[in-house]
Amino acid sequence: MSQTDAAPARVDFGHRTLVLRRGGAALRWRLRTVLVCAALGLLTLGVAVWSLCVGEYPLSLEQVWTALIDAPDAGFARTVVVEWRAPRIVAAIAFGAALGASGAIFQSLTRNPLASPDIIGFSAGSYTGALVVIILIHGTYLELAGGAVIGGMATAAVVYLLAWRRGMHGFRLIIVGIAVSAMLGSFNTWLLLSADLEVAMSAAAWGAGSLSGTGWTQAFAGTVIIGMLLVVVAALAPGLRQLELGDDAAKATGIRTGPTRLWLIITGVALVAVVTAAAGPITFVALAAPQIARRVARTPGVTVAPAAVMGALMLAGADLIAQHALPVALPVGVVTVVLGGAYLVWLIIGEVRRRHV
């Protein structure tokens, strides 16, 4: 955001830049980034429509449209589309956007493509908090959501404090986060082994990361909360871009580096915790989406908006594969682990080659 002398609100197309002016303020986007986000959004919409059509009860586009507008002749198609399939695809898009945005925040803060909530332990912390509620407290859905948020925030606080040495350095944060994640993974395994068989099986199935059984309650609540958090991220985005230049340069431009970094971490963890509370830990979307979006948009660094849209497309596509492209339906987390694991290997090989050039 920068100050200009333009008073009326208008949109200008400069040299490869889109500028929205209102009053004395101007917001600038690279034109390619805007076009890439629009294209990814259209692809996500296409995946959503496809998901509404396919299944054991296949529907035509006309039937889907009739069900969505609640036409009198919709019949059973309305139940299939509105009550069964629509909440799941809405949740996939919202949760994918949350994971993509969260991954972009942490990769930008650390300036490291390996930094994501599932790698540095924040997803594991949210899972631990939810497991404690499920196994030890036998709590309700709201209590499970609260446990996931508290677990994620507590883990972030521990990792942040352990990694702090006269400032925050990305590599140290990643190493500490991996260690904390390993410890939490062992604790989660102990919780599952010590629980009653029925409870442990239910918790383990949920822990695979699944959108099956997602209703409008989870989809609506999750979408609203994620929407509010993304508004906060948009407000913090200028500070995030300045922090990429280093603390000294950020301070020179008037950014309060400590509070800005803290609020970005809190918001990023909250995005992951909301997803974990509703669908379990869905891994690797937060890792892969920002880097793929950066390469497609050809931005100098990781940016939140393309990462969020790419995350929505990835999770919606992965859920479609999990439901219909395999011999048996699987939790979406299984598909993201397979695809994300292959991406992680490719990313590590690329980083090793780059460092030895």
Q: What is the pLDDT of residue 76?
A: 84
Cα dihedral 356, 249, 160, 106 in deg (nearest 10):
-60
pLDDT, one tens digit per residue, over 308-338 is 999 999 999 999 999 988 888 888 988 998 8
Q: What is the pLDDT of residue 2?
A: 41
pLDDT surpassing 50 at residue 238: yes
pLDDT surpassing 50 at residue 22: yes
Residue 12 belongs to a domain: no
pLDDT surpassing 80 at residue 30: no
Residue 193 belongs to a domain: yes
Cα separation of 24 and 328, whole Å? 57
- Whole-model pTM: value is 0.87
Neighbour order of strands in the sheet with 2-3: 2-3, 25-30, 17-22, 10-14
Residue 227 belongs to a domain: yes
pLDDT, one tens digit per residue, over 33-61 is 889 999 999 999 999 999 999 988 898 89
Give the contacts of 170 (CB within 8 A, at least 6 positions apart): 109, 110, 111, 112, 115
Cα separation of 155 and 122, whole Å? 6
Tokens encoding 247 = 């603390």
Residue 235 belongs to a domain: yes
Provide the residue range defining the domain that includes 84: 36-355
Cα separation of 277 and 211, whole Å? 11
pLDDT, one tens digit per residue, over 175-204 is 888 899 999 999 999 999 988 888 888 888
pLDDT surpassing 80 at residue 79: yes
Per DSSP, helices labelled H in the chain are 31-53, 61-68, 76-78, 86-110, 122-131, 141-163, 170-194, 197-207, 216-243, 247-252, 257-279, 285-297, 304-320, 332-355
The total number of residues shown for the chain amounts to 357
CATH number of 75's domain: 1.10.3470.10
Look up residue 5 and give its amino acid. D
Residue 128 belongs to a domain: yes
Residue 13 belongs to a domain: no
Q: What is the pLDDT of residue 246?
A: 73
Number of domains the chain is built from: 1
Q: What is the pLDDT of residue 43?
A: 96
Mean residue pLDDT of the chain comes to 84
Residue 188 belongs to a domain: yes
Mean pLDDT for 11-27 is 52
DSSP class of residue 83 equals I
Give the contacts of 21 (CB within 8 A, at least 6 positions apart): 4, 6, 8, 9, 10, 11, 12
Residue 64 belongs to a domain: yes
